Structure 1
Amino acid sequence: MKHTVVPLQAPSAVLPPLPSGSQVIDNDHIAAVFDEVADLLDIEDANPFRIRAYRNAARTLRALTFDVAKTLSRGEALPKLTGIGVDLAGKINEIVTTGDCSLRQRLRSTLPPGLVGLLSIAGLGPRRVKNLYHDLGIETAQQLCLAAQQGRIRHLPGFGERMEARLLSAAQKGIGKDRRLPLALVEPMARRLTEYLQQIPGVEQATTAGSLRRMRDTVGDIDILVVAAPSVDVTTQFISHPDISTVLVKGHARASVMLNSGMQVDVRIVEPAVYGAALVYFTGSKAHNIAIRQRAQKLGLKLNEYGVFRAKNRLASTTEVSVYQALGLPWITPELREDRGEVAAALAGHLPGLIELTDLKGDLHAHTHASDGGNSLEEMALAAQGAGLEYLAITDHSQSLRVAHGLGVEQLLKQIDQIDALNSRLQGMTLLKGIEVDILEDGNLDLPDDILGRLDLVVGAVHSHFGLTLRQQTQRLLRAMDHRYFTILAHPLCRLINERDPLNLDLPAIIKAAAQRGCCLELNAQPPRMDLFDLQCQYAKDEGVLISVNSDAHRTADFANLRYGVAQARRGWLEKHNVINTRSLTELKAWLVIKSPTTFRG
């Protein structure tokens, strides 16, 4: 079964120093070797499928919750990993053993050594590095600065004066590639821009594309597709938007800009006749696009951003539905377009009926001002009701989390009485009594059984001792989940996007244990968390583990984040029945009763 998650941020093109002596080679180092191999192959115009294989392997390695080198050092074979076959597994072993692989060394020997350094400059990918090298002989950052100062780069196709200035600045400052940002932070920027574009006279439609439309948990840049006739000068009006700090590229059909936030935005203008094909193409992912192009080739067709063709006859292009139909496929929702079996499922008529936001009946993780929240019990209840929910679990922190003013026994007992009193007068909304109890270092829970037993549900969470070994961390969670009153494992990997890496954890073992014990795993929709990841949700689904999509709301406005959790669930192929809080209150209470203490060893 898959042991993978999506990457937290875009991989760096700069390879870390090779280990020596007793230094440990970690997953990031192996992934960096594979990333560089992919970049060097791309510069060499190698087979795109081969390039993609190395990039996918790098993403898998970065997302693993166990250390590959330590696994191999114990004489154990690697488990089956997504995108890593016998050949790549052999290269992983080579890198663990020697710190490098012969393929990378060979590729480096065929290209000027400075080209690898150019890949670390913001705005430069393998294709642009190749253009700079072949057209201008640029091999190093110093040569790039000189060429930019002399005005020679702007004349290359796809560069221009603005891009030249940006590359000069980046090369001089040594700026690396930008980090990916949480979806919830990027989406409002994109919404402002699309609304602005839609107000331009002559613009028929403006739609986000790329990873943002696929609702990835992190976004590297914003892609916007605009439908307008050729006579409409969209880009001139677009670049006057106040959020734009720098114009990188401006043409009649395309503009590339940097926002004041540092996010890059690419706008492409297409005619109405090809909108559907262009939207498929620019939504991606690249892997999905390759898969459906292969499907087109099997049918004797050609697929590109302008449509589906048989010879010179265009069969479809105006809508996405027509493009997929021309390929003998139903429309595939953007969240699934990652080449994870969606094309085969579509052909077989087995695409999942994905969960919708309106399917959620409740939220099983929320806080009040009793701990670290910003609102009262009643305010949170009414806000949840306003968000379309029928029930809300109040799960303030427990006592050991002092920084969050966690509740002790007396405080929790008082809150239980307050919830009972409030429920007696609430209409159309029910508060459930819960706690986000700390999982202590030894796997015990932070409150005694006689208190936990009085609650409707118990949400267990790690908030300390993040640096335990894989075995220690895994055993810690297994012991906690073995507890008789344990209901949901909150934000299982404890990652914070761009701030804290996931726990060193054998997540497949946790998922299997959850299936055995009848526990749920949380998909936490807080923008910095988005934890579980999509692939992990899919794995949990395969193992029969229920997911709870929760806002972890700390204030009334936070229930709006549930939509991002649902998007992540959809990317994980989850359907309504895979999510516990799509059940009615009656059904949920029945499940909580069935999940009785006698089924546990705690």
Structure 2
Amino acid sequence: MKNEEVARLLREMGDLLELRGENGFKVVAYRRAARSVESMKTDLDEVTRRGDLESIPGVGKAIAAKIDEYLRTGKIESHERLFRETPPGMAELLQISGLGPKTVSMLHQKLGVSTVAELEAAAREHRVRRLPRMGPTSEKNILRSIERWKKRSDRIPLGVALPIAQKILGSLKKVAGIENLTLAGSLRRGRETVGDVDILATSSSPEAVIRAFVELSGVEEVLMKGPTKASVIVDETVQVDLRIVDHRSFGTVIQYFTGSKEHNVKLRHVALSKGYSLSEYSLTRVADGEEIFFDREEDLYRHLGMEWIPPEIREDQGEVEAALARRLPRLVEVSDIKGDLHVHTDWSDGLHTMEDMVYEAQRLGYEYMAFCDHSHGLAIANGLAIDRLVEKMDLIAGLNDEVEGFSILVGTEVEIRADGKLDYPDEILGRCDVVVASVHSGYNQREREMTGRIIEAMESEHVDVIGHPSGRKIGEREAYEVDLERVLEAAARTGTAMEINAHPSRLDLNDRWSRRAKELGVKLAINTDAHSTCGLSAMEYGVKTARRGWLEKGDVINTLGLQDLLRYLHRG
């Protein structure tokens, strides 16, 4: 990763120098050095330790000094100075796909364009097409690139990125000669949002694999194509990077490119303490320079005297120390989930019938499911009046008689009113197997009021789970003001479970608060809040969030078999 970052900085320096009309030989020198550094298979740290920076093709004394400066300080002062001296908008224009320094300079000189906004205005007014070597097609491509640039400034939700990545992986698996096809980066770690989609693989025919990758259906733009790496745009704004690496180094490469940066720094310190230097390509014995290669990530961790660390918890939050002490948790898995305790049907605002949802749950291998349609106070979601809920209870009893090997639990997602009271009386809640209490209104309450409102609901002997406890929607709505520490303390006291809502726009509780819940002894329920049969597949997002929160099978109530679950729910 350092090699790539240094190459990027050197390339940017070349671009900025050309933008300023500097000496052409200097521009070419920086670009040549960038290409050499990017294509290296040896880590720059190792080259520097040997004093061999100037042996890199295109790297002379001046550029070597800048590389050394970056490795020591994390920055290149002359690069930052170039950025400071270049009008901000001009540097930003270089980020628009298809615009190089020469084109940006021409746009500035001929049209006075200095910002992306000014370029967009010029293109919409059809002034760009009048320039040399430009035309209507160029103008259209510029506008399309600007739109993509605007959208790509935002991180991509996990629920958007993962299906795209899985589809691409499915296509690449069919390419002859490809091996070790694996996601990397923050997507492999299951973060709730990601920057780009990173994919690694090995192959004896890397150029053929790269060619197949850039020609996949769905690829809308090829940003870069080399012999072992390519970057493309799919789904309008999502950048997907594919790297083909040496098979013998795959273990260290996948570890490195999975991250996080903080985890990798800690792992390098561990390696140094044991007499090794760790790079993305190998583990090198400092004493004699012998390189040790790993084609499996597990073997690298084992060689360092550690347990293999699941990608989801590689955030330098104590996982390295736990792995060295061999006390890592056995994280919960999708296969541990026995059922879903928060599902909607067409009785309220769901799309499918109870029968449809049961059939899909059985297909997924579940033992049970709780139908938790909204209570009557949420009229906008067609919430159930008491008589309709009772009618539904009777229907569920009949369905349970018909369905073999599967149990349907009577549930409700009862609204927590603004004053903390619940939307159904105790006698009705007492007839439910599962009561999920949630907030869907009054989001503007102050922290003290909202916190008290949720805690009062938990005081009810009938509330089993607090649904989507913070109320946030990723990229759409901030969490309401609530003191989650107090809420979790109350949950520990009352024995109320907290939900990890697996809907990819929620993932609520998030990983940090899920881990805190575990520390306080609070149980969690991973539910999909599905409003359709396909919504049940969101469980994997909730499990990823739970894994990032260090949750084990025993921390999650819907990993229990039916009888144990019922004993837990009816413990009062």
One-letter amino acid of the structure 2 residue matched with residue 422 of structure 1: L
- Structure 1: how far apart are the matches of 2:555 and 2:187? 24
Give CA deviations for 1:114-165 in whole Å, capped at 9, x if unaligned: 67768877959xxx99xx9xxxxxxx99289999xxxxxxxxxxxxxxxxx9
1:227-238 to structure 2, matched below 5 A, reads 227-229=202-204, 232-238=207-213
- The answer as to 2:356 corresponding to 1:379 is yes
Give CA deviations for 1:461-509 in whole Å, capped at 9, x if unaligned: 1111112221121111111212231110001111112111111111111
- The answer as to 2:524 corresponding to 1:553 is no
Q: Is the 1:363–1:392 contact (alpha carbons within 8 Å) kept by the matching residues of 2? A: yes
One-letter amino acid of the structure 2 residue matched with residue 536 of structure 1: W
The equivalent position to 1:200 in structure 2, one of 175, 198, 219, is 175
- Structure 1: how far apart are the matches of 2:535 and 2:563? 25
Displacement of 1:247 in angstroms is 1.3
State the structure with bigger RCO (CA 8 A, min sep 6), 1 or 2: 1
Q: Is the 2:206–2:227 contact (alpha carbons within 8 Å) kept by the matching residues of 1? A: no
Q: Which residue of 2 aligns with 1:562?
A: 539
The equivalent position to 1:112 in structure 2, one of 84, 101, 106, is 84
User: For the structure 1 residues 562 and 175, does the alpha-carbon distance in structure 2 shift closer, same or farther, using more than 3 Å as the test?
Assistant: closer
CA RMSD of aligned residues (A): 3.3
Q: Which residue of 2 aligns with 1:396?
A: 373
1:476-515 to structure 2, matched below 5 A, reads 476-515=453-492
The equivalent position to 1:255 in structure 2, one of 230, 233, 240, is 230
Q: Which runs of 5+ in 2 are unaligned?
A: 1-68, 105-111, 120-139
- Structure 1: how far apart are the matches of 2:352 and 2:481? 34
- Structure 1: how far apart are the matches of 2:450 and 2:399? 39
User: For the structure 1 residues 295 and 146, does the alpha-carbon distance in structure 2 shift closer, same or farther, using more than 3 Å as the test?
Assistant: farther
Q: Which residue of 1 aligns with 2:440?
A: 463
One-letter amino acid of the structure 1 residue matched with residue 408 of structure 2: L
The equivalent position to 2:566 in structure 1, one of 580, 586, 589, is 589
Q: Is the 1:255–1:268 contact (alpha carbons within 8 Å) kept by the matching residues of 2? A: yes
Q: Which residue of 1 aligns with 2:264?
A: 289
Q: Which residue of 1 aligns with 2:430?
A: 453
The equivalent position to 2:153 in structure 1, one of 178, 181, 188, is 178
Q: Which residue of 1 aligns with 2:520?
A: 543
- Structure 1: how far apart are the matches of 2:94 and 2:527? 36
Displacement of 1:169 in angstroms is 7.5
- Structure 2: how far apart are the matches of 1:388 and 1:408? 32
Q: Is the 2:162–2:187 contact (alpha carbons within 8 Å) kept by the matching residues of 1? A: yes
- Structure 2: how far apart are the matches of 1:267 and 1:359? 32
Q: Which residue of 1 aligns with 2:219?
A: 244
Displacement of 1:185 in angstroms is 2.2
Q: Is the 1:302–1:310 contact (alpha carbons within 8 Å) kept by the matching residues of 2? A: yes
Q: Secondary structure at the match of 2:244?
A: strand
Q: Secondary structure at the match of 1:379?
A: helix
Q: How many residues align?
A: 470
- Structure 2: how far apart are the matches of 1:119 and 1:351? 46
User: For the structure 1 residues 222 and 394, does the alpha-carbon distance in structure 2 shift closer, same or farther, using more than 3 Å as the test?
Assistant: same
Q: Which runs of 5+ in 1 are unaligned?
A: 1-43, 51-107, 133-139, 148-164, 597-602
1:32-431 to structure 2, matched below 5 A, reads 112=84, 142=114, 175=150, 177-229=152-204, 232-311=207-286, 312-431=289-408
Displacement of 1:396 in angstroms is 0.4
TM-score w.r.t. length of structure 2 = 0.76
Q: Which residue of 1 aligns with 2:503?
A: 526
Displacement of 1:218 in angstroms is 2.1
Q: Is the 2:207–2:228 contact (alpha carbons within 8 Å) kept by the matching residues of 1? A: no
- Structure 1: how far apart are the matches of 2:246 and 2:487? 50
One-letter amino acid of the structure 1 residue matched with residue 520 of structure 2: E
Q: Is the 1:452–1:485 contact (alpha carbons within 8 Å) kept by the matching residues of 2? A: yes
User: For the structure 1 residues 189 and 316, does the alpha-carbon distance in structure 2 shift closer, same or farther, using more than 3 Å as the test?
Assistant: same
Q: Which residue of 2 aligns with 1:91?
A: none
The equivalent position to 1:439 in structure 2, one of 398, 405, 416, is 416
- Higher deviation after alignment, 224-233 or 187-196: 224-233
Q: Is the 1:166–1:248 contact (alpha carbons within 8 Å) kept by the matching residues of 2? A: no
Q: Secondary structure at the match of 2:200?
A: strand
One-letter amino acid of the structure 2 residue matched with residue 564 of structure 1: Y
Displacement of 1:588 in angstroms is 1.4
User: For the structure 1 residues 376 and 589, does the alpha-carbon distance in structure 2 shift closer, same or farther, using more than 3 Å as the test?
Assistant: same
Displacement of 1:168 in angstroms is 9.9
User: For the structure 1 residues 300 and 117, does the alpha-carbon distance in structure 2 shift closer, same or farther, using more than 3 Å as the test?
Assistant: farther
- Structure 1: how far apart are the matches of 2:475 and 2:406? 37
- Higher deviation after alignment, 583-592 or 194-203: 194-203
Displacement of 1:318 in angstroms is 1.2
Give CA deviations for 1:227-260 in whole Å, capped at 9, x if unaligned: 1136643322321112111111111121111113
Give CA deviations for 1:50-92 in whole Å, capped at 9, x if unaligned: 9xxxxxxxxxxxxxxxxxxxxxxxxxxxxxxxxxxxxxxxxxx
- Structure 1: how far apart are the matches of 2:431 and 2:147? 62
Q: Is the 1:325–1:331 contact (alpha carbons within 8 Å) kept by the matching residues of 2? A: yes
User: For the structure 1 residues 176 and 409, does the alpha-carbon distance in structure 2 shift closer, same or farther, using more than 3 Å as the test?
Assistant: closer
Q: Secondary structure at the match of 2:180?
A: strand
Q: Secondary structure at the match of 2:150?
A: coil
- Structure 2: how far apart are the matches of 1:276 and 1:484? 51
Q: Secondary structure at the match of 1:424?
A: helix
User: For the structure 1 residues 235 and 503, does the alpha-carbon distance in structure 2 shift closer, same or farther, using more than 3 Å as the test?
Assistant: same
TM-score w.r.t. length of structure 1 = 0.72
Q: Secondary structure at the match of 1:368?
A: coil
- Structure 2: how far apart are the matches of 1:483 and 1:248? 57
Q: Secondary structure at the match of 2:233?
A: strand
Q: Is the 1:522–1:547 contact (alpha carbons within 8 Å) kept by the matching residues of 2? A: yes
Q: Is the 2:83–2:91 contact (alpha carbons within 8 Å) kept by the matching residues of 1? A: no
User: For the structure 1 residues 585 and 176, does the alpha-carbon distance in structure 2 shift closer, same or farther, using more than 3 Å as the test?
Assistant: closer
One-letter amino acid of the structure 2 residue matched with residue 245 of structure 1: E
- Structure 2: how far apart are the matches of 1:269 and 1:118? 34
Q: Which residue of 1 aligns with 2:30?
A: none
Displacement of 1:204 in angstroms is 2.3
Q: Is the 1:121–1:170 contact (alpha carbons within 8 Å) kept by the matching residues of 2? A: no
Q: Secondary structure at the match of 2:84?
A: coil
Displacement of 1:199 in angstroms is 2.5
Displacement of 1:166 in angstroms is 9.3
One-letter amino acid of the structure 2 residue matched with residue 502 of structure 1: A
Q: Secondary structure at the match of 1:444?
A: coil
- Structure 2: how far apart are the matches of 1:411 and 1:423? 18
Q: Is the 1:122–1:167 contact (alpha carbons within 8 Å) kept by the matching residues of 2? A: no
- Structure 2: how far apart are the matches of 1:409 and 1:328? 60
Q: Which residue of 1 aligns with 2:123?
A: none
Q: Percent identity?
A: 39
- Structure 2: how far apart are the matches of 1:548 and 1:446? 22
Give CA deviations for 1:504-557 in whole Å, capped at 9, x if unaligned: 111111111100111000011112111111111110000000000111121222
Give CA deviations for 1:400-425 in whole Å, capped at 9, x if unaligned: 11121000110011111111121122
- Structure 2: how far apart are the matches of 1:214 and 1:569? 12
Q: Which residue of 2 aligns with 1:82?
A: none
